[in-house]
């Protein structure tokens, strides 16, 4: 490969053409101060701190925007450079309010750090602060533009990373500042409060609004956000045992890079909410605090008693797609191996998992991994009945960035969403008409291909799904006109197509067919199982994919294997050394039905709220009241814990170790950032103790041990665990 050789600070360096001097220096361990530079943003050349000098020409240039050239001889710290840098910072400091002592940014302020580094205390200039009113009416972001140094990172993040366009420069010169249209407050602009700008701001101009803490966190730890299926990498700032703030981890290989969404960035409500802090046992009809030993003893004896008395089918387990992989695996193992029942489900992601299963079946698992980056760099994306902006905000950033880069978006949705404006074609379809619509688009593309080649290839002829479609009927069914349908097809024509959809397509009676049709469409456009396309199913909960992979389902085993598949069952019988019933267990809905009938006696609910996710809460309540024994393992008190016989306090995602598998299929590991409150414990730990009480010989005394087992027994995790680096150590 072609390289360019140059000298930086007497060090011989070679790097590829197009590298900036700054990057070349950084790659070689030479530090150049910067304020407006960020690797995720386009170089801007505004702060001028990264000035360097070419000794050959004597020219000074901003290293962030100047590409390397052969035979350059760069000095990063010549006397002139140092003098200029000091003066630039001096000018900035003289314009900055003198409020460092009480500034939230504290020791993390980059301006302060650079001033200290360059030895600037007093500026010896008259202080000329450019006061602007403090803006803090909104819930999330405090804007103190007096402290703004015009690095433009917030504006560029807004334009380049999250593509919202809420802010831009306003005014000129000394008084110029980032502003919304007509200088309205942020909450009146189209700001989505993703907070991406906050984490990039080098000074205290933008800071997260916090009620409970002011100042610099004591320590920062990495974690994975648990608020949706994207699985953003976050850094949590901790003070004492409290999470003080959350920001993107700015790791380039992470899903989110420097972005985050409002839920992940500002989980105020979540952090402030009242928590379960000790096990509760129902005594004389009232929940009363109890010890862990006593509580777990009661759980195990009662479950084993009920199983003995009524058989394994009388016990059921409701897990959650918010459980991490290790918990999910252990939970279903308790059900299948120790209680010997398949009555285990995670109802929240039932439809998503149904879509995933169709895709798996049709493609033999070839579409299991879908890096979101393909949405940004591919040809075209077909968004069908999904609102990524609402459901998986960070994924929508990929789509919007892609659209800006020239990826064609075709969107078919019953309602307009934020992404409509980014689409090359938008079809406002009738609810549940997805299948018809895909047929229409497929037919238009099929027709074209068939006529172009003169005759349809044998492969094409097989695709009978699209071959005789009545387009008028399609338009009628979908409620779109022919022109827009044709326009949509034209946009997709000749392109590799990725698909983004949500679980709502499964709500229609022909949901399964819809998924098939989508796969057909991808296959016809040669987009299926390719390196640059993907089939994306939005995931509301953080571990929908993982729960599915771990077999937290009544009809499936870990590793996405069907219970009805004899060889798979045999494999798991050998692995676990038990007999597995080939009969499908109770789904959550069926559990309620059986509880109503009095057939189901005991229910163990892990991190799920049946009132929320199952239809008809009153019916659910009555059914649950009908149970002999109910265990609820959760983090928040509520109606459900009030009803439970035993309440086991678990941990929030940032209080425990484990892993999530995100909507891309990426396995992401995390360590506890803080300890669970009070006597609450990490959920795997609770389940681990329970396995022992239920008679499991091998103790699960560390999360690592569960991981090892998963990696050993689920081949795809053994593979992926290594691909993604840190899952298996």
Per rule CB under 8 A, is residue 530 in the interface with another protein? no
Out of 31, 83, 473, 619, which residue is the one contacting another protein (CB under 8 A)?
83
Number of residues in contact with another protein, rule: CB under 8 A?
36
In whole angstroms, give the CA distance from residue 238 to residue 248: 14
Minimal distance, residue 67 CB to another protein, in Å: 7
Listing DSSP states for 559-610 in one string gives: TTEETT-HHHHHHHHHHHTS----S----HHHHHHHHHHT---EEEEES--H
* Site map (CB under 8 A) of another protein, residues 328-357, x = contact: ------------------------------
In whole angstroms, give the CA distance from residue 339 to residue 315: 8
Per rule CB under 8 A, is residue 168 in the interface with another protein? yes
Helix (H) or strand (E) holding 115: helix 110-117
Per rule CB under 8 A, is residue 84 in the interface with another protein? yes
Burial-class residue 576 by CB neighbours within 10 Å (0-12, 13-18, 19+): middle
Kindly give the pairing relationship between strand 425-428 and strand 344-345: unpaired
Per rule CB under 8 A, is residue 46 in the interface with another protein? yes
Q: Give 47 or 225: the residue with its C-beta nearer to another protein.
A: 47
The structure tokens listed for 320 are: 């959650």
Mark the segment that binds another protein (CB under 8 A) among 169-177, 184-192, 225-233, 650-658.
Answer: 169-177
Establish how many alpha carbons lie within 13 A of residue 50's alpha carbon, considering only the half-sphere containing its beta carbon: 26
Out of 7, 28, 40, 60, which residue is the one contacting another protein (CB under 8 A)?
60
Site for another protein in 189-208 (CB under 8 A): none
Q: Give 118 or 456: the residue with its C-beta nearer to another protein.
A: 118
In whole angstroms, give the CA distance from residue 92 to residue 427: 51
Per rule CB under 8 A, is residue 405 in the interface with another protein? no
| Residue in the block written with tokens 């079809």 | 427
Per rule CB under 8 A, is residue 176 in the interface with another protein? yes
Per rule CB under 8 A, is residue 171 in the interface with another protein? yes
Q: Which of 491, 484, 480 is nearest to 436 (CA)?
A: 480
Helix, strand and coil in the chain, % to nearest 5: 40, 15, 45
Minimal distance, residue 179 CB to another protein, in Å: 11
Minimal distance, residue 9 CB to another protein, in Å: 19
Per rule CB under 8 A, is residue 62 in the interface with another protein? yes
Q: Which of 487, 397, 407 is nearest to 440 (CA)?
A: 487
In whole angstroms, give the CA distance from residue 342 to residue 494: 47
* Site map (CB under 8 A) of another protein, residues 251-280, x = contact: ------------------------------
Q: Are 97 and 30 in contact (CB under 8 A)?
A: no
In whole angstroms, give the CA distance from residue 637 to residue 715: 38
Minimal distance, residue 257 CB to another protein, in Å: 23
Per rule CB under 8 A, is residue 79 in the interface with another protein? no
Minimal distance, residue 37 CB to another protein, in Å: 12
Per rule CB under 8 A, is residue 48 in the interface with another protein? yes
Q: Give 32 or 552: the residue with its C-beta nearer to another protein.
A: 32
Burial-class residue 361 by CB neighbours within 10 Å (0-12, 13-18, 19+): middle
Q: Are 588 and 555 in contact (CB under 8 A)?
A: no
Establish how many alpha carbons lie within 13 A of residue 586's alpha carbon, considering only the half-sphere containing its beta carbon: 25
Mark the segment that binds another protein (CB under 8 A) among 82-90, 183-191, 238-246, 410-418.
Answer: 82-90
Minimal distance, residue 92 CB to another protein, in Å: 6
Q: Are 590 and 583 in contact (CB under 8 A)?
A: no
Mark the segment that binds another protein (CB under 8 A) among 61-69, 209-217, 419-427, 693-701.
Answer: 61-69
The structure tokens listed for 334 are: 């308790």
Q: Are 277 and 679 in contact (CB under 8 A)?
A: yes
The structure tokens listed for 593 are: 């039905």
Per rule CB under 8 A, is residue 623 in the interface with another protein? no
* Site map (CB under 8 A) of another protein, residues 93-132, x = contact: -xx-----------------------------xx-x----
Out of 10, 79, 133, 172, which residue is the one contacting another protein (CB under 8 A)?
172
Minimal distance, residue 82 CB to another protein, in Å: 12
Per rule CB under 8 A, is residue 173 in the interface with another protein? yes
Q: Give 70 or 598: the residue with its C-beta nearer to another protein.
A: 70
Establish how many alpha carbons lie within 13 A of residue 39's alpha carbon, considering only the half-sphere containing its beta carbon: 12
Mark the segment that binds another protein (CB under 8 A) among 77-85, 195-203, 561-569, 617-625.
Answer: 77-85
Q: Give 84 or 530: the residue with its C-beta nearer to another protein.
A: 84
Q: Give 80 or 293: the residue with its C-beta nearer to another protein.
A: 80
Which residues are near another protein by CB under 8 A?
A: 43-49, 51, 60, 62, 65-67, 80, 83-84, 87-88, 91-92, 94-95, 125-126, 128, 149-150, 152, 168-169, 171-176
């Amino acid at each position: 490969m072609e390289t360019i050789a140059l000298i930086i600070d007497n060090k011989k360096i070679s790097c590829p053409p197009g590298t900036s001097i700054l990057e070349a220096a950084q790659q070689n361990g030479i530090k150049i101060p910067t304020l407006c530079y960020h690797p995720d943003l386009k170089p801007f050349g505004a702060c001028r701190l990264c000035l360097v000098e070419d000794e050959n020409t004597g020219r000074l240039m901003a290293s962030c925007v100047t590409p390397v050239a052969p035979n350059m001889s760069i000095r990063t710290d010549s006397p002139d450079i140092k003098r200029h840098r000091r003066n630039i910072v001096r000018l900035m400091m003289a314009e900055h309010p003198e409020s460092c002592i009480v500034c939230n940014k504290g020791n993390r302020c980059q301006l302060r750090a650079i001033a200290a580094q360059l030895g600037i205390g007093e500026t010896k200039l008259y202080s000329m602060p450019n006061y602007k009113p403090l803006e803090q009416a909104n819930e999330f972001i405090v804007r103190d533009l007096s402290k703004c140094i015009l690095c433009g990172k917030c504006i560029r993040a807004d334009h380049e990373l999250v593509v919202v366009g809420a802010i831009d420069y306003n005014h000129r010169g000394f008084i110029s500042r980032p502003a919304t249209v007509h200088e309205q407050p942020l909450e009146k602009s189209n700001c989505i409060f993703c907070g991406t700008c906050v984490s990039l701001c080098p000074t205290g101009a933008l800071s997260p609004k916090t009620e409970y803490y002011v100042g610099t966190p004591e320590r920062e730890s990495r974690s994975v956000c648990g608020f949706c299926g994207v699985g953003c990498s976050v850094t949590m700032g901790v003070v004492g045992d409290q999470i003080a703030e959350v920001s993107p981890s700015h790791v380039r290989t992470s899903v989110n890079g420097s972005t985050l969404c409002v839920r992940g960035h500002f989980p105020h409500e979540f952090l402030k909410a009242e928590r379960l802090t000790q096990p509760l046992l129902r005594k004389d009809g009232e929940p009363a605090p109890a010890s862990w030993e006593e509580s777990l003893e009661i759980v195990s004896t009662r479950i084993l008693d009920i199983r003995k008395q009524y058989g394994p089918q009388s016990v059921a387990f409701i897990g959650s797609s918010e459980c991490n992989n290790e918990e999910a695996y252990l939970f279903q193992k308790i059900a299948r191996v120790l209680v010997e029942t398949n009555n285990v489900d995670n109802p929240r992601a039932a439809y998503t998992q149904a879509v995933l299963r169709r895709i798996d079946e049709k493609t033999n698992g070839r579409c299991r991994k879908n890096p979101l980056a393909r949405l940004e760099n591919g040809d075209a994306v077909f968004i069908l009945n999904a609102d990524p902006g609402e459901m998986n905000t960070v994924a929508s950033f990929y789509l919007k960035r892609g659209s800006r880069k020239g990826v064609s978006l075709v969107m078919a949705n019953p309602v307009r969403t934020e992404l409509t404006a980014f689409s090359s074609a938008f079809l406002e379809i009738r609810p549940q008409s997805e299948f018809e619509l895909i047929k229409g688009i497929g037919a238009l593309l099929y027709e074209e291909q068939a006529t172009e080649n003169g005759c349809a290839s044998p492969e094409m002829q097989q695709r009978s799904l699209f071959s005789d479609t009545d387009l008028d009927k399609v338009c009628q069914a979908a409620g779109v006109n022919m022109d827009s349908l044709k326009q949509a097809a034209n946009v997709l024509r000749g392109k590799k197509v990725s698909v983004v959809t949500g679980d709502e397509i499964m709500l229609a009676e022909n949901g399964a067919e819809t998924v098939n049709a989508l796969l057909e469409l991808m296959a016809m456009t040669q987009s299926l199982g390719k390196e640059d396309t993907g089939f994306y199913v939005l995931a509301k909960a953080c571990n929908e994919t993982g729960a599915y992979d771990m077999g937290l389902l009544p009809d499936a085993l870990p590793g996405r294997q069907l219970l009805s598949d004899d060889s798979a069952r045999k494999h798991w019988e050998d692995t676990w050394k038990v007999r597995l019933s080939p009969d499908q267990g109770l789904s959550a809905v069926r559990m309620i039905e059986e509880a109503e009938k009095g057939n189901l006696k005991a229910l163990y609910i892990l991190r799920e709220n049946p009132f929320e996710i199952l239809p008809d809460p009153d019916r659910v309540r009555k059914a649950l009241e009908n149970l002999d024994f109910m265990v609820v393992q959760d983090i928040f008190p509520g109606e459900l814990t009030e009803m439970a016989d035993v309440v086991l306090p678990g941990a929030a995602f940032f209080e425990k170790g484990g892993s999530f598998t995100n909507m891309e299929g990426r396995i992401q590991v995390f360590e506890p950032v803080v300890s669970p409150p009070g006597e609450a414990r990490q959920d795997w730990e609770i389940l681990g103790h329970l396995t022992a009480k239920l008679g499991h010989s091998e103790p699960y005394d560390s999360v690592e041990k569960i991981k090892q087992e998963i990696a050993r027994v689920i081949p795809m995790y053994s593979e992926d665990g290594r691909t993604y680096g840190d899952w298996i150590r």
